[in-house]
């Protein structure tokens, strides 16, 4: 069953149309990816799904309910967590304080302590350095912290924008390993990525976006063998 359905979304910035009739489905419990180059429209789609920008037409449905006219805070309350590109941490706060900010909505605040323990299990590095300031962490560690903070709202669907961007291959692998763990826990993940090879190794299903249009879709492993993907994105 599709937990998230995007149907015929069009988005324009003034005269520039950034998304053209974009439709896709994210099946419950799966890792689904949207792959594309810089400027293809990936972040624009995430912003349209989360109510950060308004689409000119189209529908977004979460668990069968239209969410495209809801404000961003109401969308998050439904169980969707959005990690924007770059993580947007609070650099002068500690690891624990940054995680707690993910539980800021009052109904989550009361259970932040058990949730913190869960994050320290999922990301042992965070548990070892609870009082370290976010700004002193490496890029990979910051990305782990940003993921942890996004998970503090107990989402059923995580939207991750360019998790692996700027990370070393080793850290990128570590981040994708967490994505697999989330799937094992039953959390649905929609990933937006430029790292085509690593993403297709993890994703159950993927869409490719070029110039604001979906140009290809298929199961992760089968796209790895696809001639067009090999030529255009994998350089082989
Ligand atoms: P990147 O990985 O570089 O962020 P992307 O695939 O996420 O790329 P978008 O950021 O969604 O791409 O951008 C899609 C198109 O819309 C691009 O042509 C971009 O220049 C344009 N665009 C994005 N945001 C705005 C904005 N706020 N105002 C005007 N144009 C924008």
CA dihedral 37, 2, 67, 104 (to 10 degrees): -80
179 lines ligand 1 (CB under 6 A): no
Write out pLDDT tens, residues 6-60. 999 999 999 999 999 999 999 999 999 999 999 999 999 999 999 899 999 999 9
pLDDT at 199: 96
Residue whose token pair is 């548990």: 127
Could you tell me the two tokens for 29?
Answer: 């419990």
Q: Whose C-alpha lies nearest to ligand 1, atom 26?
A: 13
Write out pLDDT tens, residues 175-186. 999 999 999 999
43 CA to centre of ligand 1 in angstroms? 7
39 CA to centre of ligand 1 in angstroms? 5
pLDDT at 73: 82
149 CA to centre of ligand 1 in angstroms? 25
197 CA to centre of ligand 1 in angstroms? 23
pLDDT at 106: 66
Assess whether pLDDT exceeds 90 at residue 218. Answer: yes
> What is the average per-residue pLDDT within 194-220?
97
**Nearest Cα to 131, choosing from 94, 90, 102?**
94
> What is the average per-residue pLDDT within 86-99?
91
> pLDDT-derived band of residue 88, with 50, 70 and 90 as boundaries?
confident
Ligand 1 nearest-atom number relative to CA 45 = 11
Give the DSSP letter string of 54-111.
Answer: --SEEEEEETTEE-TTS-HHHHHHTTEEEE-TT----TTSBHHHHHHHTT-SHHHHTT
Write out pLDDT tens, residues 93-128. 999 999 999 887 667 777 777 889 999 999 999 999
Assess whether pLDDT exceeds 80 at residue 197. Answer: yes
pLDDT at 236: 75
Could you give all domains of the chain from N- to C-terminal order, each with its CATH number? 1-79+156-169+183-236 (3.40.50.300), 84-154 (no CATH)
57 CA to centre of ligand 1 in angstroms? 18
Q: Whose C-alpha lies nearest to ligand 1, atom 28?
A: 13
């Amino acid at each position: 069953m599709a937990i998230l359905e995007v149907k015929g979304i069009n988005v324009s910035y003034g005269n520039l149309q950034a998304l053209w009739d974009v439709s896709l489905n994210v099946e419950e419990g799966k890792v689904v990816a949207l792959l594309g180059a810089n400027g293809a429209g990936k972040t624009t789609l995430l912003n349209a799904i989360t109510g950060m920008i308004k689409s000119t037409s189209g529908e977004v449905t979460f668990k069968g309910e239209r969410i495209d006219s809801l404000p961003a805070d109401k969308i998050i309350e439904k169980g969707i967590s959005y990690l924007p590109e770059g993580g947007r941490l609070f650099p002068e706060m500690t690891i624990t304080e940054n995680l707690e900010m993910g539980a800021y909505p009052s109904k989550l605040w009361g259970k932040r302590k058990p949730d913190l323990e869960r994050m320290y299990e999922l990301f042992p590095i965070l548990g070892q350095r609870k009082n370290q300031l976010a700004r002193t962490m490496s890029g990979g560690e910051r990305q782990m912290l940003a993921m942890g903070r996004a998970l503090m709202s107990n989402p059923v669907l995580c939207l991750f924008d360019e998790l692996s961007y700027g990370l070393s291959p080793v850290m990128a692998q570590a981040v994708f390993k967490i994505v697999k763990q989330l799937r094992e826990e039953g959390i649905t993940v929609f990933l937006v990525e430029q790292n085509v090879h690593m993403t297709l190794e993890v994703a159950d299903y993927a869409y490719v976006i070029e110039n604001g249009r979906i140009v290809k879709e298929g199961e992760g492993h089968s796209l790895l063998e696809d001639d067009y993907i090999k030529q255009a994105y994998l350089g082989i």
